[in-house]
Structure 1
Amino acid sequence: MPLIDIGANLTHDSFDRDRDAVLERARAAGVGRIVITGASREHSPKALALAQAHPDFLSATAGVHPHHAAEYTDECDAELRALHTHPEVVAVGECGLDYFRDFSPRPAQRRAFERQLQIAAENGKPLFLHQRDAHDDFMAIMREFDGRLGAAVVHCFTGSRKELFDYLDRDWHIGITGWLCDERRGAHLRELVPNIPAHRLMVETDAPYLLPRTLRPMPKDRRNEPAFLPHIVEGLARDRGEDVAVTAAATAAAARALFRLPD
């Protein structure tokens, strides 16, 4: 069954030189669909344009990452709402809170997050969520929208056991990246992934970031790309104690259901 990469930053300038080749390598590796992450006022329209250029292979999200929360104006909100009128845009986000880097002031992060949750509450699309070192505030804001939101996936999960079970208790989905393949930072994650129900589990590369450290041979430029998604799935299957085909099928089915993707 073709894999689905639920999060790849294909509008990143590192792909400008060979984006078509990157897509072909992904297809050849068994990736059947990629959801391009829209994470800023600049890149969300680019994600939509790419998805429209490759409708059989690409979908997009549209949102503003907490790093860019300071750019979230009324005009930005209107632009996002316009992007979400397109069927190729399948989720609201990447949105959330990031207190690890604080590239935008925390009050601005919270405001931008709330405004994007309002968009999701109105249009019914699933959420593509980001949370780092901000769990309590993140959960408090999400609770303010109880009963008004649809499905959600916590993208690039790297958190604690408590965080994982808080998310699962809310019936959210979990996105796993090549962080799992990092023997330094990913050991705790390897112990946690067996707890994720198959119908809540998804995989993503977060390309060009988070190149799996166990990948061989390593690309010379250290750039991650969707063609490496099978390597992540293999590691995930190993840590869950199941056949790779089982993990591949489950993650693809979960992604199709959440994002309402075509078969």
Structure 2
Amino acid sequence: MHLIDIGANLTHDSFDRDRDAVLARAREAGVARMVVTGASRAHSPRALALAQAHPGVLSATAGVHPHHAVEYTDECDAELRALHTHAEVVAVGETGLDYFRDFSPRPAQRKAFERQLQIGVDTGKPLFLHQRDAHADFMAIMRGFDGRLGPAVVHCFTGTREELFDYLDQDWHIGITGWLCDERRGAHLREIVKNIPAHRLMVETDAPYLLPRTLRPMPKERRNEPAFLPHIVEELARDRGEDVATTAAASAATAAAFFRLPPPGAD
């Protein structure tokens, strides 16, 4: 397999001691490329630096997650725009709304989301989106930018069937993680992932979070990493009624086109 992990938080401090080994394990597992998530004012520059240190393997996003929306100032906006002048930064975000935890006030979340969508308008780059328990406001804000945005992926999709079809009706892409493997929270996903067209489906680990609960043997430290992406693909392929190779190849081709990357294996 030549997979693309579209969302890995490789700047997380849990990787500081062995980041090179994590990347090596990913390559050995068939994960040819990874997109490093930039999700805060501090970590978006680190995501770019990491991508620059590993050309052809890592790319980056640059944005501010709704959890950090209170840090979105004019200065932060200027910093993000500077990051987006670099070719290694392939998408705007992670940005969106999260009303599940409300780590930032909802008005601040909405303002930060709108300002980052404007960066998407101005740069033409794809959008790397987050939505949890905020579907109505999320859709309303996105509709306010109708016709002005490039392609979008709702990353780490965990929502309902109705939410899925709302996104697909907009021709947005869907990112599937190890949430699929969680029998407590993700069982509904197993029933609906077959509805995602292959050219709209991508896969991700969201490492170090969301370690697949069906992984065997289970890592002792419970840290997720890109090397476990093939396991998610295997589970996803089973739920879609496809061969693993089919799901793997299609998701990688979709991700390469979405982020404007060379196809895996092209190097």
1:82 Cα deviation from its structure 2 partner:
0.1
Q: Which amino acid aligns with 1:131?
A: Q
1:56 Cα deviation from its structure 2 partner:
1.4
Partner of 1:149: 149
Partner of 1:211: 211
Partner of 1:133: 133
Partner of 1:201: 201
The 1-side partners of 2:20 and 2:151 are apart by: 31
Aligned residues: 263
Identity %: 87
Q: Which amino acid aligns with 1:251?
A: S
The 1-side partners of 2:54 and 2:208 are apart by: 19
- Written as runs of structure 1 = structure 2, the 5 A alignment for 1:65-104 is 65-104=65-104
- Written as runs of structure 1 = structure 2, the 5 A alignment for 1:13-52 is 13-52=13-52
The 2-side partners of 1:183 and 1:132 are apart by: 19
1:262 Cα deviation from its structure 2 partner:
1.4
1:184 Cα deviation from its structure 2 partner:
1.4
Residue segments in structure 1 that go unaligned for 5+ positions in a row: none
2:8 paired with 1:12 = no
Aligned with 2:27: secondary structure? Answer: helix
2:211 paired with 1:232 = no
Q: Which amino acid aligns with 1:204?
A: E
Aligned with 2:158: secondary structure? Answer: coil
Aligned with 1:145: secondary structure? Answer: coil
The 2-side partners of 1:69 and 1:4 are apart by: 28
1:183 Cα deviation from its structure 2 partner:
1.1
The 2-side partners of 1:185 and 1:222 are apart by: 18
The 2-side partners of 1:40 and 1:192 are apart by: 31
Residue segments in structure 2 that go unaligned for 5+ positions in a row: none
1:153 Cα deviation from its structure 2 partner:
0.2
Return the TM-score normalized by structure 2.
0.98
Return the TM-score normalized by structure 1.
1.00
Q: Which amino acid aligns with 2:61?
A: T
Q: Which amino acid aligns with 2:68?
A: H
The structure 1 segments of at least 4 consecutive aligned residues displaced by more than 4 Å after TM superposition are: none
Partner of 2:123: 123
Q: Which amino acid aligns with 1:222?
A: R
